[in-house]
Amino acid sequence: MAFFSFLILTSLCIAGREALNLSDCGAYARRPEPTDISVVCGTSAINLAIQVCPVIYTGYNKSLLILNRIFDDEDCRGTLDTSVTPPVVRFTFPIREGNACGSNFLTTSAPGTGIFSDFSNIQTVNVSGVIRSFDPTIGTITYNAELKYYYSCAYPLEYLINNTQVDVSSSSIALKDNNGSFISTLSMSLYQDINYTKPLTMPRLGLELRTDIYVQVVASNLTSQYLVLLDRCYASVNPQPTNSTFFNLFVSCSIDQLTTMLENGDSQKARFHFPAFRFIEQQNETVSTYYLHCITRLCEKSTCSTFKQCSNRRKRSTLDSTSLSTDQTYTISSPEIITKTESDESKEKPLVAGEKDESSVGLGAAVGVLAFVCLIALCVAALFYKKLRN
């Protein structure tokens, strides 16, 4: 109790230096209303703004607004902002579990809709809490009403992502949704070795067919509660997942026989590899160009295993690409993968040391014969000329 008394006195002293008086509020001095709080669900933090004049009208100040009963953390206290009208108290805190100023994290599941209608469940994490007033009155009764300001942010965990427009070997994208952006960055990188240490550099003339391409999708800056699970990855000849030729590397548990899944739904990265191929429709071109796309979900640790059970998930061999319109905020173009359409040696190959060019040998022999004939002709002509003079 002594600690809280000290905290109250400290808060009042701080408030005395920066608090507003009721007379400063003018027309904004009124009873509190539910709409006095503004909530912004951001990429890595939640931002709250509470109108301070109704708080002062009720008998409190900004230092007596406590976020989720956390008294002793400076990062969880509100700051007065008088640069806006009406003035507000602002709270800003990260949305990582264990570091979100006491916010509650709740994950729920629901049937997939829209682009995710092929999947039996999608998950959403809800981050919520409450800002309460702390009454400094000491005694049996108080005339101050208790203030409660609730906030809630919903962050869907399923997103259509791919290795978007940065370079051939890697890229990243912040996950965005109408209700906010989740606390992760997903990135897809291409490698040339099974240890995932050598990024794949695309040759100008393309990869040889059957060259192994190693793919890794990683979630960084993500709370340990969630893992990465790939639902579908496919290649298409169009950088956008629209109506174009495509080839499924895997859809749910249906995996192409030449695609090898190394890790999926077990950690915050997923890995697989496949041999480079070409699209037959591009056979008349010098190279075959296509793009890799993955539908990726973040699943809670306790539920990832159920998503991976094939018997409990709806499957189909193809996905109607018309549902993947470019209007979707999760649709992004991918960089190109290039493969050679022919593996035959060039007919105009350069000479290699130690090898003999048969055409050169033939030409040399022909020139030698012609020179010999010319020499004989000169000798005959010289003898004939000598006889004529005699």
In a domain, 373, yes or no: no
- Kindly report the average pLDDT of the chain as a whole number: 74
pLDDT at 335 over 80: no
Q: Pick the closest to residue 106 from 129, 75, 83, 76 (CA basis).
A: 129
pLDDT confidence of residue 191: 92
Q: Pick the closest to residue 277 from 288, 269, 292, 261 (CA basis).
A: 288
Are 289 and 198 in a shared domain?
yes
Q: How many other β-carbons are positioned within 10 Å of the β-carbon of residue 301?
A: 14
pLDDT top residue among 295 and 287: 287
Q: How many other β-carbons are positioned within 10 Å of the β-carbon of residue 58?
A: 17
Q: Which of 156, 190, 220 represents a domain boundary (last residue)?
A: 156
pLDDT confidence of residue 132: 92
In a domain, 256, yes or no: yes
Are 203 and 95 in a shared domain?
no
Q: Pick the closest to residue 131 from 57, 52, 29, 31 (CA basis).
A: 52
Residue 326 burial class via C-beta count within 10 angstroms: exposed 0-12, middle 13-18, buried 19 and up: exposed
pLDDT top residue among 331 and 297: 297
For residue range 215-257, list pLDDT tens digits in order. 998 887 777 778 888 888 888 887 766 667 889 988 877 889 9
Are 200 and 144 in a shared domain?
no
CATH, residue 85: 2.60.40.3210
**How far is it, in rounded angstroms, from Cα 297 to Cα 156?**
9
Taking residues 101-111, report their average pLDDT.
Answer: 84
In a domain, 23, yes or no: yes
What pTM, to 2 d.p., does this model score?
0.58
190 with 272: CB under 8 angstroms? no
CATH, residue 336: 2.60.40.4100
**How far is it, in rounded angstroms, from Cα 192 to Cα 91?**
46
**How far is it, in rounded angstroms, from Cα 60 to Cα 276?**
67
Whole-number percent of the chain with pLDDT over 90: 25
Rg (C-alpha) for the chain, rounded Å, is 36
- 166 φ/ψ sector (left φ>0, alpha ψ -120 to 50, else beta): alpha
Are 119 and 195 in a shared domain?
no
Instruction: Count structural domains, the chain.
Output: 2
pLDDT at 9 over 70: no
pLDDT category of residue 365 using cuts at 50, 70 and 90 = low
Q: How many Cα atoms are found within 13 Å in the side-chain-facing hemisphere of 230? A: 30
pLDDT top residue among 112 and 147: 147
The residue range of the domain holding 284 is 182-308+327-340
For residue range 161-216, list pLDDT tens digits in order. 433 322 334 445 555 544 555 556 777 889 999 999 999 988 888 999 999 999 99
pLDDT confidence of residue 44: 76
76 with 102: CB under 8 angstroms? yes
